[in-house]
Amino acid sequence: SMAVARWVLALARGAAPVALGLLLWVAVAGGEQDRLDTLKALPEANPEVLAERRRHNELIMAALREAAQTEENVARRPVPWQK
């Protein structure tokens, strides 16, 4: 029936940004692990750089999570983001 088709379509539309966010998260997390392993091998890996990079990644993750939760296009939002 039409109601079922509409429901499935709405479900798919809602799941797409979440799936995209998850894929991006997996990609970033995988790359991060490789980078951490590489940094551990480097003698000059200092805690400040690691902390800064971790903070930067958290900001990226927060932006991705918010993008996955909102219907609107986050990229079209004015620069100082307001929730």
| pLDDT, tens digit (0-9, with 9 covering 90-100), for 35-61 | 777 767 665 667 787 788 889 989 888
Residue 2 has pLDDT above 60, yes or no: yes
Q: In the chain, how many domains are there? A: 1
pTM for the full predicted model: 0.33
Q: 21 lies in a domain?
A: yes
Terminal Cα distance for the chain, rounded: 37
Residue 63 maps to a domain: yes
Domain boundaries, position 52: 17-71
Task: Judge whether residue 33 has pLDDT over 80.
Answer: no
**Lowest pLDDT segment from 16-25, 46-55, 73-82:** 73-82
Q: Please report whether residue 61 resides in a domain.
A: yes
**Is pLDDT of 74 > 60?**
no
Closest-CA residue to 67 (of 30, 28, 10, 19)? 19
